[in-house]
Amino acid sequence: MLNKIQQYLFLGLTFSAFSGITLSTDSDLSLFKLFIISLGFISFFLKPQYDIYLSFFKYFRIGCILFVVVIVFTMIVRGSGLKILGSELWGGSTYIILIFSCILVINSHKLNISAENIRIGIVLLLLGGIIPFINELLIYFGFGRIAFVGSVIDDTTVINPTTRLQTGGPLSLNLLAFSFLLYNKNQYNRIIISALFLISLIIGGLSGHRLALIGFVMFLIFYFYFKQKTKKIFFYSLPVVIILILLLPIYVELLPLPFQRMIAFIPGINVNYLVLNDALGSTEWRLKIWDYIFADINKYLLVGKGLTFSSHEFYLASQSSSDGIFTAFLVGNYHNGPLSFLMVFGIAGIIALFLMSIFYFKLLSNLKTLIINHRLSNDIIVLSAYNITNFLTFLLFYGDLNKMMPLLFIQFILLISLLRNDLRKNV
């Protein structure tokens, strides 16, 4: 009975990760959070599975155990932010999601997910983001929103040539990964892969996210690094990419404004002044957030600031900060992974992050020796490239601890489950 329940919860969790589905139109409780808590709770009652010990996995597991300890300690010192515990602060629900995400990682050796359901889970994870993207398109064209689907824009948003489809950023990378998941020598499949590749690039361009292009490039680099047999494709396509980049100054002004914003960071490219102003504003926004952090960080090295805040502080911040910078600072949206961990959880938080990071560096050097079952090798390579790309994005560029860490934990569980399944079949 528990085995069937964990299978369904696992599939629901992967589907809900990017779907943005909420339990009510005015609720902050998403389907994703519900599945994390449910599967995390169930994992305590599952029996450990026969496992070939992956030596580099222990660092991630130890990092998660330390992370849970640090979270609980921070909640005790700074306030839990949970009304059920009598706290008057806000923001405590994020602690619960982070704790249950860590519990899932710690108990991942108890999960007994079939290879078929793992692969279905990967597909659901990668394609779930289509729902909020369609929702945003409907709002964009004036059809209203889909009920129970969260959105970064609302019906009052003013649509103009600079308007970007925000949800296209993560969907772009997900579709790219999905296209390579279909890879085989079948000519028909190659046509589908090429079409998906182009669609993912277009969606990334419509998002206007510079990270969409950076993530696109990083994923391709890691995929071809792991996939030795397809290195020829990489080297054959490299000259074409270089030529397109060199010719950018000629045709850049013909591109839609969101596309121009995506490539605005490339040196020597002259984009529309509206796009440039918007892109520079985003960069300045990050720098101001980091100024706030560096001014306060010495106070939170031993015991982190935590994620909780008072409703009064939030009201004052939202009223006094027209650009939303101080409000973002107050709720812990620091746009940098290491700074987020250091500010929110102190030095102990950074140590936990470092231990988790070891796994990804070991994955880069050890993956080729871990792939045994050739039928699953492409799935493992795609998921590894996807995991590393998202983790580096968290460390170097975006780093939203509240949103990205639970997603990174779920992606890690998918990868480690697939690796273990691959190894078990060959014992």
pLDDT of 247-267, one tens digit each? 777 777 888 888 888 888 887
Select from 173, 164, 193 the least CA-distant residue to 18.
173
21 φ, ψ (degrees, to nearest 5): -75, 130
Segments in the chain below pLDDT 70: 24-28, 50-56, 144-148, 150-162, 184-188, 228-241, 244-246, 317-323, 370, 372-375, 422-427
| CA distances from residue 56 to 82, 97, 355, 418 in whole angstroms, order as listed | 35, 25, 10, 15
For residue 186, give every residue at least 6 positions away whose Cβ sits within 8 Å of its Cβ, in sequence order, or none. none
pLDDT of residue 404: 92
Q: What pLDDT was estimated at residue 185?
A: 60
- In this prediction, residue 156 carries a pLDDT of 46
Residues 6 or more apart in contact with residue 331 via CB below 8 angstroms: 91, 307, 309, 314, 402
Tell me which amino acid residue 263 is.
I
Please write down the long-range contacts of 142-148, taking CB distance under 8 Å and 24 or more positions apart.
147/25, 148/21, 148/22, 148/23, 148/24, 148/25
By three-state DSSP, how is residue 4 classified?
helix
User: What pLDDT, on the 0 to 100 scale, is given for residue 427?
Assistant: 47
Q: How many C-beta neighbours within 10 Å does residue 354 have? A: 14
Task: Provide the pLDDT for residue 24.
Answer: 67
CA atoms within 13 A on the CB side of 368: 10
Domain spans of the chain, in order of start: 2-424
The span from the CA of 406 to the CA of 174, in Å, is 16
Could you report the per-residue pLDDT of 278-321, keeping only the tens digit for each?
888 888 888 888 998 999 899 999 999 998 887 777 777 666 66
Rounded Cα distance between 129 and 403, Å, is 14
Question: Do 257 and 162 meet the contact criterion of CB atoms below 8 Å apart?
Answer: yes
